[in-house]
Structure 1
Amino acid sequence: MTPKSYSISSYNNNNKDNYDTDLEKKIRELNETETDWVSIYLVYVMLFFGGIQITVYFTSMWPYLSTINSKANVDTLGWVVASFSIGQAFGCPFFGWWSEKIKSTKIPVCCGLIFVMIGNFIYSLLANFSNEKVNFMMILSRFLVGIGSGTNGVLRAYNATACNQSERRKVVALGIASMTLGATIGPVIQALFNPFGIDGYLLFNVIKLNLFTLPPLVMVVVCAISITFFFFSFKETFIGIEEENEKDKNIDDKIVKGNQKLPPFDKIAVAICIYNWFVIQTMATNVEVLASPLTITMYNWTDSQAILYNGIMLGCSAITNFINFLLQAFTRLRYVDARKMIVIGISMFLMYNILNYPWPFYTEKLDYIKISPNNTENTHYSGGCSRKFTWCEETPRTPLFLYVISFVFCLGIGFPSISGPNGALFADILGPRRQGFMQGIMELFGSIARAIGPVSATWLFNHSGTRYYMILQGILISIAVILIIVFKKRLVPLQI
């Protein structure tokens, strides 16, 4: 169970004669300070929109790309999805470092949203580019949005340091819930634009308004409103930070009062939390990037059906996610040992992979895509397994009801069971110091997972279907369980 307050450990008791009573006073003040809920609620709103930016195009990205570039393949899709994460990998540590340096959350976040606006606007204009340029421009658009989304680490760091430790599990759980809810609702928002169809309407003879281009244009408007609202409404509060002044200077986490300083955080414990986040992001990206190609192949869904049905499943998973986060925030579930919750979540991930592995006792075989009237394989016309895949004949179909149940419940329970407790534990391990850079590093590794995941998952899917990418995920998940069991005693809050 996570301690409700920071305590004085043997780190300082060994030097009790020289112990700085001002530091003891500071620790008591930290434990008694009230959480600034007003600013935290504003951050929740920003995290929600940040989550939407991550996934709003995942179910439609492949149909959009194949529509504007007939030569595109699933490997190209992997690089498009990875470009977002590569951009985020640059943005996370930079914005985290910048936020710590200027001791501000507001300015980096607003600057990041400008990148997001530019990227979304380019995405809406992709149909205006030639086949030779469209792949590059799609990658560029997602790269820019990724850079801007690097501010998610800054927002999460603010949440961790704008509350007292007794409420951190609740604050962090709701923060990640906001981002996760946004991420799972993103494809649902895309599905809402399905009635506009692929042909759509032409605006000013330049912008084609259809089910692919309307969502990014809406996101541009949302970002503009968010920048204005956040810049003028957000007031920052930091709890647990020794603010710098002439008499009491904070340098690299050292509280310069006599000979005392904050103890260093446990690097192994921090690394394990970061690895857990890496596993979460790997799972999320693999599921999201392959949702459309996999269901088109497995269940003969057309492009429009894949967008709609995957959007519905993601919406149901989002509801399961959100209920889980609410239980963590407002019931006794938040007092359950974070390590146990993480293991439960990882077990749900493992169950998802087991159920969706192409076991030989799944006897139903895959169907090939029906040839369209123009003698081509066109997933607008018919779903199924493409004849370019050599594994269609030997790969059984996972029963649809198992896929839906595991998608909604295994993932819906697994993601919040890991991300909420893991995020709170990570903040507690770091202790009452500025966390912008370290939260940025955590987001960096999540971005690396999101960059590697789509490329590796699409490559494995092209060459072997779901078999080997399920095995790869299973290995990553198993390593996470082993690390938690072996280093259980080190996964505790910083003792001051």
Structure 2
Amino acid sequence: MFWLSVHSISGAVFGHHLTGAGIAEPTVRRYGENAPIMVIENTSLIRDFETAQEKKERWKSIYVLYFSTFLMGLGFSTVLTGVWPYLDKLDPTAGKEFMGIIVAGHPLGQMLFAPLIGWWSNRSKSVLLPLQLCIAIFTISNVWYSLLQLNSGHRKYWMLFTRFLTGISSSNMAVCRSYIAAATTLSERTKSVSMIAFFQVLGFIIGPGIQAGLSPLGDGDKYLLSIIPLNMYTAAGWINVFLGILNFFLFLPCIFKQRKIAAKEAMIMQNADSEKATWAGRKPDYISAGTLIVSFFLLNFHFVLLETLAAPLTMDQFGWSKQDALFYIGILMVSGALVACVAFFAISPLTKIFKESLILVWGGFAFMAVGSIFLIPWGPDTPPMAKVSNDNILLSNMTASELLNKTDYLGCPPTQEWCSYTPALTLTQFIISYALTSMGYPTGLALIQSLISKVLGPRPQGTWMGIMVGIGCLARVLGPVFISVIYTRYGTIWTFSLTTVFQFLIVFWLLSCNNRINRAIQMHIKKNVDNDRELKNLNSGQHG
């Protein structure tokens, strides 16, 4: 005797209780009009093809992936807020435009290699080797980043190369997401995908907090063993090296054991003879998948734009020093991490009341859109103009290179002409916008990943997740370039007006595609229900 329940698209729960005679008796439970998309809960059947030991190993490996995801987010963001001041220290002539290129180097590497790594994991039938290789590259790239001061020349290009390598290492995100989809049942998937997204965002947000905590080290030249440079920038890299070594050991076969269950669940539910038979001949809804991937692009574009721009924006708008900017932004981002935690843990109970696609729109992108509006400046005055301490040279007569060589200037540099006539952003606006983004981004990130894994169904998702990661990385490539071109040349009004338009466009597009996305997910479950009905008819005929 077992109990199988399916949450339907309309909010009903269809159940089949097998009696002693083996006849399926359907029942229906209703939870309201806005109930979530169907989720299979089949604990008795799962116990039949998974022992308690296998389940324990399956979840231990999932927890390792959570940590690895956290590490990748941490590796990206720990050095992110320090890129500009570190670059300025290594090469004062580099400028903000080259900073944008350096920040874009990380997602460019991930964008180019994530689909390849995802495809490799599908072909090899194992995720261990791709994951171990990515972690090794991550560790090496952070060692290199921390030793950049030892290079005698071309430091800005070496920094770009190290960030590119770190991006390649982050391609393991495609493998992590596809494995989560394969190693969880449908009833577990939303929560598991939410958790992996939670740890990724936690890494994104805590990273700058670590950088802020290292600010007392200053940017002076201190050395360990008379060779290794140590300051508030390189210390962040060494922390990543330590975490990378730890993470590599967690992916040893004695700790990480592959236990895929999604295809087995689909085989049982569909009475299929093989895993491939559960999805072969059934194409995914490309429009629904494409809509979610485009949404993922815009979600990441807005987030990385704000996180990358945080340090130079606050230095320009509020006249903060480099050290003050890192410290206060770090505090703000740690606070944002707490807000993100609340948002993530609210997802699971909310999906029991509302459809995931609607939570994505109103709890994700709507918050991001309003947050973008708050970044359009309305201050009464213009930003403070840069002044160099102990220097009588008129800034208006300085070239860009001369200005960049002055590391003590505070405020908006005269080379950004818009500073002289554009209203200043207020600190209140910036804090409100960041709070809204801290709520919207994690919600959107978790639900997009959950929805697309359900739209794709039980098929191997390594390549698809690689494409999605690559598209998200494209957003992180274009975000810094957007800063270099739009923010540096045209200012805050143009920058954040455009991001506001993008966010509202995706809100309207998701609303128009809402029913289609839900139908695409229901398609993979409908066959299960049909099979149950056939079984009922067969049993009825036998007993008749």
- Map of 1:58 onto structure 2: 80
Q: Which moved more, 1:344-353 or 1:181-190?
A: 344-353
| Alignment check: 8 A CA contact 1:349 1:477 kept | yes
Aligned pairs for 1:178-327 within 5 A = 178-231=199-252, 232-241=254-263, 253-255=276-278, 261=280, 263-327=282-346
Kindly indicate whether residue 463 of structure 2 is the aligned counterpart of residue 437 of structure 1. Answer: yes
Compute the TM-score of the two structures, normalised by the length of structure 2.
0.80
Q: Please state whether the residue corresponding to 2:260 is helix, strand or coil.
A: coil
Residue identity in the other structure for 2:492: T
Q: Could you tell me which of 382, 389, 396 is aligned with 2:416?
A: 389
Q: In the superposition, relative to structure 1, how do residues 347 and 416 fare at CA in structure 2: closer, same or farther (>3 Å)?
A: same
Q: Please state whether the residue corresponding to 1:387 is helix, strand or coil.
A: coil
Structure 2, unmatched stretches of 5+, are: 10-39, 48-54, 394-401, 525-544
| Alignment check: 8 A CA contact 2:374 2:432 kept | no
Residue identity in the other structure for 1:310: I
1:354-396 residue CA offsets vs partner (Å, 9 max, x unmatched): 111124xx31221111122255757753420001111111111
Q: Please state whether the residue corresponding to 1:356 is helix, strand or coil.
A: coil
Q: Could you tell me which of 435, 439, 443 is aligned with 1:417?
A: 443
Q: Could you tell me which of 132, 148, 158 is aligned with 1:110?
A: 132
Q: Please state whether the residue corresponding to 1:474 is helix, strand or coil.
A: helix
Q: Could you tell me which of 505, 523, 527 is aligned with 1:495?
A: 523
Kindly indicate whether residue 390 of structure 2 is the aligned counterpart of residue 373 of structure 1. Answer: yes
Q: 1:28, CA displacement in angstroms?
A: 9.3
Q: Please state whether the residue corresponding to 1:391 is helix, strand or coil.
A: helix
| Alignment check: 8 A CA contact 1:30 1:164 kept | no
- Map of 1:446 onto structure 2: 472
Q: Could you tell me which of 349, 359, 363 is aligned with 1:341?
A: 359
1:186-244 residue CA offsets vs partner (Å, 9 max, x unmatched): 11111111111111421244321111111111211211111012223111111222699
Kindly indicate whether residue 96 of structure 2 is the aligned counterpart of residue 74 of structure 1. Answer: yes
Residue identity in the other structure for 1:75: E
Q: In the superposition, relative to structure 1, how do residues 220 and 433 fare at CA in structure 2: closer, same or farther (>3 Å)?
A: same
- Map of 1:10 onto structure 2: none
- Map of 1:21 onto structure 2: none
Q: Please state whether the residue corresponding to 2:232 is helix, strand or coil.
A: coil
Aligned pairs for 1:123-202 within 5 A = 123-131=145-153, 133-202=154-223
Q: 1:316, CA displacement in angstroms?
A: 0.7
Residue identity in the other structure for 1:473: T
Q: Please state whether the residue corresponding to 2:374 is helix, strand or coil.
A: helix
Q: Could you tell me which of 504, 512, 537 is aligned with 1:478?
A: 504
| CA distance, structure 2, for counterparts of residue 104 and residue 248 of structure 1 | 22
| Alignment check: 8 A CA contact 1:63 1:303 kept | yes
Structure 1, unmatched stretches of 5+, are: 8-26
Q: Please state whether the residue corresponding to 1:392 is helix, strand or coil.
A: helix
| CA distance, structure 2, for counterparts of residue 314 and residue 358 of structure 1 | 21
Q: Please state whether the residue corresponding to 1:208 is helix, strand or coil.
A: strand
| Alignment check: 8 A CA contact 2:383 2:423 kept | yes
Q: 1:320, CA displacement in angstroms?
A: 0.4
- Map of 2:14 onto structure 1: none
1:38-66 residue CA offsets vs partner (Å, 9 max, x unmatched): 22222111111111012111111100000
- Map of 1:428 onto structure 2: 454
Q: Please state whether the residue corresponding to 2:171 is helix, strand or coil.
A: helix
| CA distance, structure 1, for counterparts of residue 472 and residue 41 of structure 2 | 34
| Alignment check: 8 A CA contact 1:154 1:440 kept | yes
Q: 1:5, CA displacement in angstroms?
A: 6.5
Q: 1:30, CA displacement in angstroms?
A: 9.4
Q: Which moved more, 1:301-310 or 1:397-406?
A: 397-406
Q: 1:494, CA displacement in angstroms?
A: 4.9
Compute the TM-score of the two structures, normalised by the length of structure 1.
0.88
Q: In the superposition, relative to structure 1, how do residues 457 and 261 fare at CA in structure 2: closer, same or farther (>3 Å)?
A: same
1:67-102 residue CA offsets vs partner (Å, 9 max, x unmatched): 110101111000001110110012211110111111
Q: Please state whether the residue corresponding to 1:495 is helix, strand or coil.
A: helix
Residue identity in the other structure for 1:328: I
| Alignment check: 8 A CA contact 2:41 2:187 kept | no
| CA distance, structure 1, for counterparts of residue 144 and residue 8 of structure 2 | 48
| CA distance, structure 2, for counterparts of residue 29 and residue 297 of structure 1 | 56
Q: Which moved more, 1:72-81 or 1:476-485?
A: 476-485
| CA distance, structure 2, for counterparts of residue 207 and residue 465 of structure 1 | 39
Q: 1:156, CA displacement in angstroms?
A: 1.3
Residue identity in the other structure for 2:91: N
Q: Please state whether the residue corresponding to 1:202 is helix, strand or coil.
A: strand
| CA distance, structure 2, for counterparts of residue 388 and residue 303 of structure 1 | 18
| CA distance, structure 2, for counterparts of residue 31 and residue 161 of structure 1 | 19
Q: Please state whether the residue corresponding to 2:63 is helix, strand or coil.
A: helix
| CA distance, structure 1, for counterparts of residue 238 and residue 125 of structure 2 | 33
Q: Please state whether the residue corresponding to 1:59 is helix, strand or coil.
A: coil
Q: 1:468, CA displacement in angstroms?
A: 1.6
Identity of aligned residues (%): 28
Residue identity in the other structure for 1:468: W
- Map of 1:22 onto structure 2: none
Q: Which moved more, 1:268-277 or 1:332-341?
A: 332-341
Q: Please state whether the residue corresponding to 2:223 is helix, strand or coil.
A: strand
| CA distance, structure 1, for counterparts of residue 345 and residue 458 of structure 2 | 25
| CA distance, structure 2, for counterparts of residue 354 and residue 6 of structure 1 | 37
| CA distance, structure 1, for counterparts of residue 305 and residue 350 of structure 2 | 32
| Alignment check: 8 A CA contact 1:302 1:380 kept | no
